[in-house]
Amino acid sequence: MMPAFSPLGEEVVPLGQSFGRYLSEDVAAALDSPPFDNSAMDGYAVRAEDVAGAGGASPVRLALRGESRAGGPLPSALEPATACRIFTGAPMPDGADAVVIQEDTERLGDEVAVLEASPPGKHIRARASDVSAGATLLRAGARIWHGELGLLASQNIERVRVYKRPRVALLSTGDELRELGAALEPGTIVNSNVYVLTEMLRELGVTPVPLPAAPDSLPAIKSALEEALDADVVITMGGVSVGEYDFVHEAFAAVGIEPSFWKVRIKPGKPLAFARYDGKPVIGIPGNPISAMVTFEVLVAPCLRKMLGDPQPHPQPVPARLTGGYRRRPGRVEIARGIATREGDDLLVTLTSQQGSGSLPSFAGVNALVVLPADKAELHPGERVDTLLWGAGLRGVSSFFDTLE
């Protein structure tokens, strides 16, 4: 059983720092939107009854009085049988109840001839027609993304209450690990996982706390774990297999962390530990770079999204068709790397040639994780598979929009 994950608490943040956060309470509209009746077009504000009989053969001449432009002085009230020059977004004068678009008029000195009737309300964006002050604007659990940010800003809402961002410690383990840019003596490798996982965490919206890699020794891993437990969540990487230099199990036990499980039936990524220590989630993922990324994405990220307050933390796969066949040993669900493209109404996915769990080059350009069922030994070209779109998503060199000139 996976331990439960839930938000750590709430805080109020300025709107400018709220992007990507999840609201922890419903937000009510502070203002009517639009805040005042305004014109949707460039033209003339009129009384609809004055122009009711207007037509190409029966123009109605109105005396031109004043002007209303967006951000300009407020127009005075409109007298009967007059028109006010008006521009898009400008406030409607009192007394006016319709706009005649510029194209349906002819300017004659200080008069305007109206060539088309305009019924009440025409071309007016009425006050509160989108939302009334006090109405629910956004619900708790909504992630503040571009649209939500614009909406909140348009409402002059300066601060929002959001769930706290968990601080997530990343503890790599391995004598062989070196920092980026280090001189790599024989037998050593760059701790590439910490750079990848740091960005995966940042993208989710949690605060990454990358720690120096711990060497493969019980005391070193134990004390690094104790330090990591300052954070709200601890993710250890590597050292969870059954080799003689895999001390993460023992270090967990020495600290008093009791995992609810150590293994999951997926490929890549069999060794995986979920535990709680003093209420804090402690998660051990494999060190293998592919396993680390894949297990993080499919198993760890949804837990962190729950902690962020996301009511829909699980990514949903979409069906795609395999372009080639694939043979495998059945038994575990396999998360294969693929490149998805669109062809007509179909989503096609090509598995990358190297599916070994150590091969980082096989991750370049990957935009799909393909979920292969545990019991299948052979998949055929054209077969439908569940696909999680990932990373940069679907892209192409040209699009429908290129044709809109």
Interface residue list for ligand AMP (CB under 6 A): 172, 174, 176-177, 189, 191-194, 237-241, 286-289
Query: Would you say 28 and 152 are in contact if contact means Cβ atoms under 8 Å apart?
Result: no
Instruction: In angstroms, give the least distance from the CB of 330 to ligand AMP.
Output: 24
- Residue 246: CB minimum distance to Mg ion, A: 6
For residue 237, the partner it binds in Mg ion, ligand AMP, none, with Cβ less than 5 to 8 A by kind, is ligand AMP
* Residue 288 partner contact from Mg ion, ligand AMP, none using kind-dependent CB cut-offs of 5 to 8 Å: ligand AMP
Nearer to Mg ion, 113 or 254 (CB): 254
- Which residue, 87 or 245, is less far from ligand AMP as judged by CB? 245
Residue 14: CB minimum distance to ligand AMP, A: 36
276, burial (CB in 10 Å: exposed 0-12, middle 13-18, buried 19+): middle
Closest to ligand AMP by CB, 240 vs 385, is: 240
Separation of alpha carbons 88 and 99, rounded Å: 10
Q: Residue 251 and residue 231: Cα distance in Å, rounded?
A: 17
Tokens of 75: 């127009």
The per-residue DSSP string of 303-369 comes to: HHHHHHT-S--SPPPEEEEESS-EE--TTSEEEEEEEEEEETTEEEEEE-S---TT-GGGGTT--EE
| Residue 183 dihedral angles phi and psi, to the nearest 5° | -70, 125
The whole-angstrom separation of Cα 91 and Cα 203 is 42
Distance of CA 88 to the CA centre of its chain: 33
Q: At 111, list the tokens.
A: 């008069």
Q: Which range touches Mg ion (CB under 5 A), out of 8-16, 169-177, 383-391, 397-405?
A: 169-177
| Interface characters, 281-320, with Mg ion (x: CB under 5 A) | ------x---------------------------------
The interface partner of residue 241, options being ligand AMP, Mg ion, none and the CB cut-off 5 to 8 Å by kind, is ligand AMP
C-beta of 59 vs 208, nearer to ligand AMP: 208
**Alpha carbon distance, N-terminus to C-terminus of the chain:** 56
Q: In this chain, which residue has its C-beta nearest to ligand AMP?
A: 287
Strands (E), 77-204: 82-86, 98-101, 105-108, 111-114, 124-125, 136-138, 159-163, 167-172, 177-178, 189-190
* Cα dihedral 260/266/267/269 (nearest 10): -20
Nearer to ligand AMP, 102 or 192 (CB): 192
Is 91 a residue that touches Mg ion (CB under 5 A)?
Answer: no
Q: Which lies closer to Mg ion via its Cβ, residue 287 or residue 309?
A: 287
x-marked contacts with Mg ion along 222-241 as a string, rule CB under 5 A = ----------------xx--
Among Mg ion, ligand AMP, none, partner that 191 touches (CB below 5 to 8 angstroms by kind)? ligand AMP
What is the spatial distance between Cα 395 and Cα 365, in angstroms, rounded to a whole number?
A: 11
Choose between 43 and 239: whose C-beta lies nearer to Mg ion.
239
Q: Which stretch binds Mg ion (CB under 5 A): 41-49, 112-120, 142-150, 166-174?
A: 166-174
**Rounded Cα–Cα distance for residues 292 and 174 (Å):** 14
Q: Which does 295 bind (CB under 5 to 8 A by kind): Mg ion, ligand AMP, none?
A: none
Nearer to ligand AMP, 192 or 207 (CB): 192
* Burial letters 251-269, b for 16+ CB under 10 A, else e: bbebbebebeebebebbbb
Q: Does 75 bind Mg ion (CB under 5 A)?
A: no
Contacts with Mg ion by CB under 5 A lie at: 174, 238-239, 287
